[in-house]
Amino acid sequence: MFLRISLPSLKSANPLSQNNKNTSIGHFSCKKMNLSLRLLSSELTCPTSEAMQYKNVNFLLSKPSARVSCFINKDVCNRDGRNVRVSCQLMHDHLEESYERNKRLQMSLPKQDFVRTLLIDNYDSYTYNIYQELSIINGVPPVVIQNDDWTWEELCYYLYKENAFDNIVISPGPGSPACPEDIGICLQILLKCRDIPVLGVCLGHQALGYVHGAQIVHASEPVHGRLSEVEHNGCQLFHGIPSGRNSGFKVVRYHSLVIDSESLPEVLIPIAWTSTGTLPFIGSKVSDKYNSREIQIDQSIFVDPVLPEVGDRSSNIIDYGKTRNAKVLMGVKHSTRPHYGVQFHPESVATCHGSQIFKNFREITDDYWLRFRSSYKKEKRANSDAHMQVSSASRLYRDFNRSISSDNNAADRPRKENHGDKDLAHNNTDIKCMDMFNMVNAHHASTGFKCLKLKWRKFSHLAGQVGGAKSIFCQLFGHEAENTFWLDSSSTEMGRARFSFMGGKGGSLWKQLKFRLSDQSDGCSNGGGYLSLEDSEGSAKTIFLEGGFLDYLNKELQSYRYDKDEYEGLPFDFHGGYVGYIGYDLKVECGVTSNRHKSKTPDACFFFADNLVAIDHKNDDVYLLAIHEESSSMTQWLDGTEEKLLSLTGSVMIDLERQYFRPSTFSSRNAGFTAEKSREHYIRDVKKCLNYIRDGESYELCLTTQIRKPIEALNYLGIYLHLRERNPAPYAAWLNFSKEDLCICCSSPERFLQLDRNDMLEAKPIKGTVARGATEEEDEQLKLKLQLSEKDQAENLMIVDLLRNDLGRVCDPGSVHVPHLMDIQSYATVHTMVSTIRGKKRSDVSAVDCVKAAFPGGSMTGAPKLRSMELLDSLESCSRGIYSGCIGFFSYNQTFDLNIVIRTVVIHEGEASIGAGGAIVALSNPEDEYEEMILKTKAPVNTVIDFE
């Protein structure tokens, strides 16, 4: 018997442990024997008649109303050399229409103003792009549940007793419809809900084929983040959309598995298929030659004689050449039911006419319910709609239990735990607002409100006169650099960044926070960790945070009260508050269930900065800011710092350069960094990633590693100053936590997430990097090569769609947009491909909610995010620690600005470490990926070596 444990409830520290091989733990359940054989091997554990013991685990109805039989057709080669093909044929015995819908009457009713959708999330990272589209098109946001949130009985209750939904959309997701943990309740929906309009996207499309007997096979090649032109048959789902080559109907594809069109049963009708091979996104616009060109992929990327030695996941090899140029099935519909599926992603930012497909599905739904209405007339009341727009499934569970407790044993109904941002996975309305209100009030009842007052002074056009930001920091804070911070916009060209903030140990409100996850941390709901606090007087204490660090930070920020009039006139949003970093392992507070590795450095460190200096690089202005509690007055720091500031002169920098920068006079490169993984090991892991991608487990995996070096006691501030000269960056940072023997020298070019005072969220992911050229001509050629690279475009597009999803969780419907897609930005050592995503924060979510919805940054994980992070945890040999996390501020006024920690030297307890990596996609070449990873370490490595 299989246990029904959903992916986000994964408890095992090592999901690949041999101890888990006989149980269904997360998505590794039916994959332990051999993931690559899950679909295509005779050893596959399929849901057969013998395995249908699901009465209490809800794979199918407890009633014996369906039986499942597996059969094998010879077609493709497994590791034993035998040609096999596996499909699951579901055969119906006396299938009855649920409840009273078999009593439908044909009747004509007016169309409604809105359509209510149940959106099933298959743990994908693009579901909330669909959510955003449907919210506008339907006139009301859909209700989102994950594919194992509800039992079949609960689903039936809301579909048939409450008549709560008009249609269902099944999201994309990792894995295969042949694996119960990948598809959850979706197969039952497609089998049983024959009288409700259903649209399946990607994995949902494959599931529609699978339940009716079609075979799911590997595609001729994995296609992720790439475009194809599509031809269709003009059915209602594609009404008003052009068709065929050069028609303008280009779609984004994220898949490595497909429905085998030759196995399509008569009950399913093909409605769309590719009319061209893959096309680059930008290249198709700037060069016509790409429009008719088939992109030829090096087959050695997918079929490599070394792969069988890597692990048994790679033992199933397919001859891609036979079907490379064949048309791929892109859409199907059921011949008698209102069920549709599309293999491509209509919600992608680069899909043409994607919104029209969702509009057409709404029309299909409206038309269906106009023709067929139940005899008891389905009511659409405004309060019914409000009832369904809830923050989580828990309220629906409670309602369900009260309504049908007499018919079902609630003890047999499994429950899921809420992890991290789970509440954000549903529509947040009055219930969440009330919960948050109660939470904040409870906190205030015990600690009281913190009423803060702000005082600030402006010095126009002063920065340049005193030597700039570097001079100001070094002379005000650098002599005793302990417990100091500098959020440093050292690259302000092209408007990349405008402000820098700096400070040291401050006034009475200053404090330092250090957080370490407990050894048992496997999620914020029951893991928690230890928070150490030290105040300005040196008093220290340690407390256990059961809810985790981000929960604590959220409560702290919610407790502050302030007068907005006090910062009118300030052009920036940081007015004091928390400055520091969040380490990568705090992903367990954001939906991930476990960390395989433990960080040597604290998982989060922050100062509460009550005094700071801000520099406006655009206008050359300097600001001094101080916050204090309402009952006190603080001008001493302002007066003293003003006096020091006005006495500074640029000439002092000559002495500072001599003090902080003493480059090596001998070559120390032979005593360089030691890599966590050798070149061969890293390339082998890249190939493993390609196998995961080929098997549909991920679209993109950001594989990373670390290099380390013992380092003597040096002037670490000098290392940072040299790094900012060698590799200036818009989101650079210096952090010194002296009690932790921890210095962070960061030259990051990437913004993770920003929330401004107007409640606008912005992310700026970087995907695609190439070295600068030696000459101007070579430099321009390399820049153009990056811009036209289909591989880099695919990397960038996948992360853009992921960030749109993450912002879509917490932003107003229709507000998420992409003002800049795949721009090329140039830095001292590299060209990069950068996109910008923005959205308007919903009024019912907090600043920390926004971070939890998007952390860790998608550019450092891959997509789908949850599955990708689990896979990466199994591949990477150590914790990323601070690397891949974020550095920045949380202002007491609920704004924040955070970077992605890359291009960074972390100096901790006498060791310097540098993390680096890159996105692995289906088009990746393992050797090239290794070279790109090394390129990203160049600037920080050379900086450290210069100071030995």
- The CB density around residue 69, as the number of other CB atoms within 10 Å, is 12
Predicted confidence at residue 507, as pLDDT, reads 87
Q: What is the pLDDT of residues 128-159, one digit of tens each?
A: 999 999 999 999 999 999 999 999 999 999 99
How sure is the predictor about 519, in pLDDT bands with cuts at 50, 70 and 90? confident
- The answer to whether 734 and 717 have CB atoms below 8 angstroms apart is yes
Q: What is the CATH number assigned to the segment(s) 113-280+326-373?
A: 3.40.50.880
Question: Averaged over 172-179, what is the pLDDT?
Answer: 96
Q: Is the pLDDT of residue 100 over 90?
A: no
Confidence (pLDDT) at 945 = 86
Active site residues: 202, 345, 347
Predicted local confidence at residue 594, as pLDDT: 87
Using N-to-C axis directions, what is the helix angle for 679-694 and 865-875, rounded to 10°? 150
Higher per-residue confidence, 180 vs 629: 180
State the pLDDT confidence band at 39, using cuts at 50, 70 and 90. Answer: very low
Q: Tell me the CA distances in angstroms from 520 to 96, 517, 550, 593, one per residue in order.
A: 48, 8, 17, 11
User: CATH for 450-664+674-759+843-947, among 3.40.50.720, 3.30.465.10, 3.60.120.10, 1.10.10.60?
Assistant: 3.60.120.10
Query: Is it the case that residue 35 has pLDDT exceeding 90?
Result: no
Q: Stretch 93-106: mean pLDDT, rounded?
A: 38
Q: Kindly state the tokens that stand for 932.
A: 């790109």
CA-nearest of 553, 413, 538 to 848 is 553
Least confident interval from 183-187, 529-533, 943-947: 943-947
Mean pLDDT computed over every residue of the chain? 78
Contacts of 734 (CB under 8 A, 6+ apart): 473, 484, 485, 486, 488, 717, 720, 743, 744, 745, 746
* pLDDT > 70? residue 454: yes
Give the pLDDT of residue 778: 93
Amino acid identity, residue 897?
D
pLDDT digits (tens, 9 = 90+) for 474-487: 999 988 889 999 99
Contact 16, 163 (CB under 8 A): no
> pTM of the full predicted structure?
0.79
List pLDDT tens digits, range 369-410: 988 764 334 444 333 443 344 333 334 433 433 343 333 333
Which of 719-744 are b and which e, b meaning 16 or more Cβ less than 10 Å from the residue's Cβ? bbbbbbebbbbbbbbbbbbeeeebbb
In the chain, which residues fall in CATH 3.40.50.880?
113-280+326-373
* pLDDT in the model for residue 629: 86
The residue that leads in pLDDT, 290 or 525, is: 525
As a whole-number percent, the residues of the chain with pLDDT over 70 amount to 72
- Residues of the chain within CATH 3.60.120.10 domain(s) are 450-664+674-759+843-947
Mean pLDDT of 794-815: 95
Residue 556 reports pLDDT greater than 90: yes
Q: What is the largest CA-CA distance in the chain?
A: 91
| Mean pLDDT within 505-530 | 80
Per residue in 377-387, pLDDT (tens digit) is 444 433 344 33
User: Phi then psi for 940, rounded to 5 degrees?
Assistant: -65, -35
